[in-house]
Amino acid sequence: MEKITSHHSGMHCASCTTTITETSKQQVNIETLSARRRLILSWLFTLPIMLWMLLNMLFNTTWPTHFSYKLGMIILAIPVILIAGYPTLKSALRSVLHLSANMDVLIALGALIAYLTSIASLFTPMANYAGIAAMIMAFNLTGKYIEEKAQGRTSQALEKLLALGAKTARILVDHQEKEVELNQVKIGDIMLIRPGEKIPTDGVIVQGKSSIDESLATGESMPITKTIDDKVIGATINQQGLLQVKATKIGQGTFLSQVIKMVEECQSTKVPIQAFADKVTNYFVPAVLIIAALTLLGWLLFPKPLHQMLVYAETWMPWVNPQLSYISLAIVATVAVLVIACPCALGLATPTALMVGTGIGAENGILIRSGSAIQTIKEIHTVVFDKTGTLTTGKLEVTDVINVANHETTEILRLAASTEIGSEHPLGKAIVRAAQNKNITLTPPQQFTAIISKGVKASIDNKEILIGNKKLDPQLNTNVMQQIQRLEDEAKTVILVIAEKQTIGVIGLADTVKKEAKETIAQLSNMGIQTVMLTGDNEQTAQAIAKQAGINKVLAELLPAQKVTAIQKLQKNEGLIAMVGDGINDAPALTQADVGIAIGTGTDIAIEASDITLVRGDLLAVVTAIQLSRAIFRTIKQNLYWAYGYNVLAIPIACLGLLHPLIAEIAMAISSISVITNANLLRRHPFHK
């Protein structure tokens, strides 16, 4: 067979999509790596500072000398403030130029002022705040790295989607079969697809008939029979016959490329968890600046009464130094306000709760991949469930074996399973598996024959056995028809078992609802959360499954793009939406939803496209995830209140000039311990088990 290896530009988007994906992935990796390097650099110098300060605090000595202690602090703080903290300083400057205030402004202002006064302390009696400046920046960079890592979801989902496609195609050129690279395929080319092969690109069958596994598109486990003039989707799998398919879409127009595009678009629309803190900071930062300005102005306008207070306080506050000039005292008080307004707890408030919370989630089989999900899922109004593999087990099982002609059900199952030995069809496999689970001894079939569009035929114990659909017996009696109708009303696939030209049994198969599905829906309802089911399956089957699970609203027969549209409509009409799914076809909807929750037993692509993964596939973990989310965010708010609370208590002391660096250090230590302790109290929360 001749293999064409030359390339022509503009024939397929695989290479350009790969380039875009790789560029996006590299950018995310660079940002995460950069945050990690800044974190390491900051603590490399801050840890010695903290140890040095600890010696000073415990033994009241500035080893080896007072001057070298001050100078050492200043030198060690330089890499932390100016190198590791450069992006924070840059962000703060940009925010100020745009007349807005964020956490970076507070961090930068506190750290810079503290550092500048430490330089002044070399020549004046002012306190040395260099160590505090470095600690402020280091704790802030720790929080930023944790947030970056949580939000830095790479393009692995897109890489896996690209990997699903065929790499080559066999096309007919002058009646000769040639193997070409996928980017050589042009619209109108006739592709040859053998059983078991992937269909290279979207097209229409021009010759042949087969069963196509379209689970990639629909999420449904049942293959779909396709024949001439039927459309097929690229990357789906031809299971049986030899097909000739005319390519109708290539490049960006293919189904797979559209899925990739949707995932890319949805991944770029997430809300950062730090939005809450930034919102508070928008008010807090200007307030601190105003207080600092008023402090400076107050000391300059009313120095005598304030100085007199220092003289009085000196008797019980030995660190107070009334001997300083009025201007020095004004500067010390102003700087103290700015420094104490930015305790280390602010840098720990969010990431510690995230770390502890995500650890608890992991212990409960819940992997939280996106920090933004914690902020969002607590306010979720509606949870949308995929059907196959999410609400259901995703695997066909024999649910009913019905005797309609005085035969034992065990014998009916034995004959059916013996006929299906070696079958690659999901229905046949399910029947064989059911017999094996009951330890039924099977007989190898003789004279096995496939009956097109109806079923199969074989000789078992010298009896002619037919297994298949209703078309095998057009003369079914009323009793059998009633049994069939009952099973179909329950959304079950019906298989007839015919022995010696007489229907002796009816077998019902279904993708069964998970045992915990109903309880999960009930729990969500008790929490005031609505539930919806989306599926690519038909309306009748969808309604039957939804009824068993306790879901009232069903949207059926949806392709991936239609699922995204459905999610968008729900977001517009209902509010915040969480989507729970497991299949490749769910990836766009998972990313479009405000929170995407993937079943861990599903595909890697769905998992990579989600914010939260339920490792064990237990639907009750959806309830736990929401409970955990609410607890985490509540803790984050409490931590921020703790951090800001110390400011409220300490700022008035700083305004009066009564604050010593030792007090600032103790306040930061206590506030940080409080934040960490409060975060760890999450472990005592009675999450649903």
Catalytic residues, by residue number, are 386
Helix, strand or coil, per DSSP, at residue 63: coil
Helix, strand or coil, per DSSP, at residue 545: helix
**Virtual torsion, Cα 241, 247, 249, 251, nearest 10 deg:** 100
Residues 6+ apart with CB under 8 A from 417: 431, 432, 434, 435, 436, 440, 442
**619-656 per-residue burial string, b: 16 or more CB within 10 A, e: under 16:** bbbbbbbbbbbbbbbebbbbbbebbbebbeebbebbbb
* Crossing angle for the helix pair 661-680 and 345-363, to the nearest 10 degrees: 20
| Per-residue CA distances from 145 to 35, 38, 136, 537, 671 (Å) | 5, 9, 15, 43, 21
| Per-residue CA distances from 499 to 191, 408, 478, 504 (Å) | 41, 13, 19, 7
Give the Cα separation of 521 and 620 in Å (integer): 9
Q: Nearest-CA neighbor of 133 among 84, 68, 90, 64?
A: 84
Under the phi-then-psi rule, with left for phi > 0, alpha for psi from -120 to 50, and beta for the rest, what region is 258? alpha
Residues 6+ apart with CB under 8 A from 5: 181
Backbone angles phi, psi at 188, to 5 degrees: 100, -15
Give the Cα separation of 341 and 323 in Å (integer): 26
Give the Cα separation of 536 and 219 in Å (integer): 7
**Virtual torsion, Cα 137, 140, 142, 143, nearest 10 deg:** -170
Q: Nearest-CA neighbor of 305 among 657, 652, 651?
A: 657
The answer to whether residues 104 and 157 touch, using CB atoms and an 8 Å cutoff, is: no
The string of DSSP letters for 73-131 reads: HHHHHHIIIIIITHHHHHHHHHHHHTT---HHHHHHHHHHHHHHHHHHTTTSS----HH
Give the Cα separation of 416 and 396 in Å (integer): 16
Burial of 599 (0-12, 13-18, 19+ CB in 10 A): buried
The one-character DSSP state at 388 is: I
The string of DSSP letters for 309-375 reads: HHHHHTTT-TT--TTS-HHHHHHHHHHHHHHHTS-THHHHHHHHHHHHHHHHHHHTTEEE--HHHHH
What is the dihedral sign for C-alpha 551, 552, 557, 560?
negative
The answer to whether residues 365 and 148 touch, using CB atoms and an 8 Å cutoff, is: no
Residues 6+ apart with CB under 8 A from 666: none
Backbone angles phi, psi at 466, to 5 degrees: -115, 135
Helix (H) or strand (E) segment spanning residue 384: strand 382-386
What is the dihedral sign for C-alpha 672, 674, 675, 680?
positive
Beta strands, E only, 182-315: 190-193, 203-207, 210-213, 224-226, 231-232, 237-238, 243-247
Structure tokens of 154? 């790479």
